[in-house]
Amino acid sequence: MPKIVDVFEMLPPDDIRHTISTPEGILHYQEVGSGAPVLLIHSFGPQPGVTAWMIFRNVLLELSKVRRCIALDMPNFGLSGPVLYDEPFHDVVVRSALSLLDHLSLDRVPVVGTSMGATVALDLAIKAPDRVRGLIVGSCHASTGGDPYLLGPFPSEVQRLFDEAQLDPADCAHTRRLLKALVYDESLITESMLEAIQAFRTSHLDHWKAVAQSTSRSHSNLADLSAIDVPMKIIHGRFDRMVPFEQALMLMSYVRHADVTILNQCGHWPAFERPVTFTAIVEEWLDNNGW
């Protein structure tokens, strides 16, 4: 069982932190462990107060015992960026991920993505199928700008809270409401975690300004999903208030070889909220595929 570390750690130890310069700006990533590589792309949340380490750290502590784990901070999140764009944001992150894979001389890897990172993973598999060995995704839309829902309201509750929180990154009350809506177990959102995220946000206002000055163009990937032919696993929280779990079923209907696991008592951040279960699913899936 992985050791659960204090939730207020925003950044990993210095010895596993790295940066590279790319056309998409400075990219920050963490690399830990050895063996077969796997790329992890983190979730949506208060921007820029979400990092790959914050979302995946407990997963990385266990997964890195047997694998080389590479976790990317998406542009304008964490320590990546700032960068301006006027195009689908997920396309920006796809190019960033490819730049990172090229830098590390990695031809083809399995990709684990949650939320916004999962949409990036799907986009990556569509645009550069020769670089993706397999996919674990979930808590996501397939498309930049979202996909139509059958039952859930659009925009979702959390999307509205995110928009409010982005108006003023120094507003602690809005950040608190957003964070508590992202998880099922609100006790995970401690005051120390909130303070750390607020401090991070206000010390990286150049990232916040870059997003405010950029435009993410909507683009649907639904028609291209059926072309994905690599192994695919979908993990989604039953109580996701950002992306309702009906989206997991929608993805499965387009990618007919994909399997779905719905985690009960779990919100939009399965890797953060249910790290033991999430890690076990990832490890079993990688092992079953011989990676």
Q: Indicate whether 40 pLDDT > 80.
A: yes
User: Which CATH architecture is the domain 14-288 placed in?
Assistant: 3-Layer(aba) Sandwich (3.40)
Does the pLDDT of residue 6 top 80, yes or no?
no
pLDDT at 25: 93
Structure tokens at 55: 């979302």
pLDDT digits (tens, 9 = 90+) for 96-139: 999 999 999 999 999 999 999 999 999 999 999 999 999 999 99
Nearest to 46, CA basis, from 189, 142, 221: 189
What confidence tens digit (pLDDT) does each residue in 154-177 have? Answer: 899 999 999 999 999 999 999 999
Among residues 120, 151, 156, the alpha carbon closest in space to that of 246 is found at 151
Residue 36 has pLDDT above 50, yes or no: yes
Q: Does position 7 have pLDDT exceeding 60, yes or no?
A: no
Domain boundaries, given as residue ranges, for the chain: 14-288
Q: Round to whole Å and give the CA distance between 3 and 166.
A: 33
What three-state secondary structure class fits 55? helix
Is pLDDT of 8 > 80? no
